[in-house]
């Protein structure tokens, strides 16, 4: 039998193959995040929030689906509960995860990770820390004011004592987080 002929002989094998692949996709964190984001984003907007982030992560032996919401007024525990109660039945119906998991809904907090362009733009002029994968000019961490993005998509950081902002290519940035300065 030549390569690929098995498919023509038994179409049920193809169906079984796709069912197995679908299960793998459900377990794939990116697949889960994509499905959950598609459900959570319009729901968050309907409730008056912005969907900040969705993560599907393993912590110890347990899996966690973390949904992070924000709003201009900030997020309270009641907001988190409201989003949790609203999304829980939708997740049960969509069933994007075929294993036990914990659902967490929270605010991004005052010190938040910035991953997307819109998040960076929303936090322009905030104090941030840029952590790099490899040292640049002898340092792996830089503190300063977020000055946005340049046309190449590099993260711009205004640092005390520098006339021009420093530009960090996205591929070199491990994390970009806001920092709160307690006075």
- pLDDT for 5 equals 45
Give the structural domain span for 124.
Answer: 117-178
Q: Cα(first)–Cα(last) distance of the chain, in Å?
A: 75
Name the token pair of 57. Answer: 């992560």
Q: pLDDT grade, residue 67 (50/70/90)?
A: very high
Asked if pLDDT for residue 9 goes beyond 70, the answer is: no
Mean pLDDT, the chain, as a whole number? Answer: 87
Q: Are residues 91 and 37 in the same domain?
A: yes
Please state the domain count of the chain.
Answer: 2
CA angle, 100 as apex, 97 and 104 as ends, to 5°?
A: 85
Q: Are residues 145 and 86 in the same domain?
A: no
Q: Are residues 88 and 151 in the same domain?
A: no
List Cα–Cα distances, 64 to 32, 120, 158, in angstroms. Answer: 11, 25, 36
- Summarize pLDDT for 71-110 with one digit per residue, the tens: 999 999 999 999 999 999 999 999 999 899 999 999 999 9
User: Is there a contact between 65 and 103 (Cβ–Cβ < 8 Å)?
Assistant: yes
User: Is there a contact between 35 and 71 (Cβ–Cβ < 8 Å)?
Assistant: no
């Amino acid at each position: 039998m030549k390569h690929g002929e098995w498919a023509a002989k038994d179409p049920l094998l193809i169906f079984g193959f796709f069912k197995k692949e679908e299960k793998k996709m459900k377990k794939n964190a990116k697949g889960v995040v994509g499905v959950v984001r598609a459900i959570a984003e319009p729901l968050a907007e309907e409730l008056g929030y912005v969907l900040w982030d969705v993560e599907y992560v393993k912590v110890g032996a347990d899996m966690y689906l973390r949904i992070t919401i924000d709003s201009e007024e900030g997020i309270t525990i009641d907001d988190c509960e409201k989003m949790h109660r609203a999304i829980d039945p939708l997740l049960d119906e969509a069933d994007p995860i075929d294993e036990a998991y914990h659902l967490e809904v929270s605010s991004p907090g005052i010190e938040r990770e910035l991953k997307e362009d819109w998040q960076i733009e929303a936090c322009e002029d905030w104090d941030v820390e840029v952590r790099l994968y490899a040292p640049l000019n002898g340092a792996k961490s830089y503190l300063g004011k977020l000055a946005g993005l340049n046309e190449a998509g590099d993260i711009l950081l205004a640092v005390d004592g520098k006339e021009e902002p420093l530009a960090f290519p996205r591929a070199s940035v491990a994390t970009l987080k806001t920092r709160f300065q307690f006075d």
